[in-house]
């Protein structure tokens, strides 16, 4: 068997795995929008994992990469894209979970896209103003400095850690204020860079 044949067989296998992911994990959970399914079919999850973790690319839960971050579950990304509803004119900031997978899903759907490491985002680093901020993980707090990067009327979609339960959440900037509203309970990796100080609770 030639190397080219092996490569084609591998590509076919991973594409089959992505189709199975769409049919068994996304469609059965109500994620049916074409732009979401098209992007998740087009982007191989295994490309964003180290070689020893690639076999876990299409399981129905997140893959931990230790201190390097995580690759969230397919359902998390499907629901996140659905809630974000990216538009061709959007300027997007992706707060990274450590792999670059979410940014790759979004990039062709929007006008501009920038990424920021979760630790830097939690510290208020970076610059620019965005119509959409998408966070690859669950946060316990939303720093004012990050909320300030959102344009008036802009949207934010993230995971939210509330009373030890992770939920998909979204919000909009109105009158210079941003609040995250829970959408649904969902298993989401927690970004500990956004942990609240002891004794603090999300309002």
pLDDT reading at 200 higher than 70:
no
How sure is the predictor about 11, in pLDDT bands with cuts at 50, 70 and 90? low
For 53-63, write each residue's pLDDT tens digit. 999 999 999 99
Residue entry with tokens 């191989």? 44
The residues near 48 (Cβ < 8 Å, ≥ 6 apart) are: 71, 99, 100, 101, 104
In a domain, 90, yes or no: yes
The domain spanning residue 149 has which CATH number? 3.40.50.150
In a domain, 156, yes or no: yes
Structure tokens, 118: 């979760």
In a domain, 74, yes or no: yes
Question: Which carries the bigger pLDDT value, residue 153 or residue 199?
Answer: 153
Question: pTM value?
Answer: 0.90
DSSP strands (E only) in 62-199:
63-64, 70-71, 91-96, 112-117, 130-139, 150-162, 165-174, 177-178, 181-185
Task: Give the number of domains in the chain.
Answer: 1
For 56-102, write each residue's pLDDT tens digit. 999 999 999 998 999 999 999 999 999 999 999 999 999 999 999 99
The predicted model gives 120-142 an average pLDDT of: 95
The predicted model gives 160-166 an average pLDDT of: 94
Domain that holds residue 16: 3-194
């Amino acid at each position: 068997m030639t190397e080219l044949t092996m490569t084609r067989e591998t590509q076919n296998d991973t594409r089959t795995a992505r189709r199975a992911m769409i049919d068994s994990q996304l469609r059965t959970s109500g994620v049916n929008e074409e732009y979401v399914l098209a992007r998740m079919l087009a982007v191989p999850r295994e490309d964003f994992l180290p070689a020893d973790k690639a076999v876990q690319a299409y399981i129905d839960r997140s893959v931990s990469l230790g201190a390097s971050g995580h690759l969230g579950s397919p359902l998390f990304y499907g629901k996140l894209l659905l809630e974000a509803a990216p538009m061709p004119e959007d300027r997007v900031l992706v707060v990274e979970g450590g792999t670059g997978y979410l940014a790759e899903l979004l990039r062709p759907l929007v006008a501009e896209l920038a990424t920021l490491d979760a630790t830097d985002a939690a510290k208020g680093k970076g610059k620019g103003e965005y119509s959409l901020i998408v966070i690859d993980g669950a946060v316990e707090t939303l720093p004012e400095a990050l909320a300030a990067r959102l344009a008036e009327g802009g949207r934010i979609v993230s995971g939210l850690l509330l009373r030890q339960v992770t939920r998909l959440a979204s919000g909009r900037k109105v009158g210079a204020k941003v609040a995250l509203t829970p959408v649904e309970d969902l298993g989401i990796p927690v970004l500990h860079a956004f942990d609240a100080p002891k004794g603090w609770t999300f309002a």
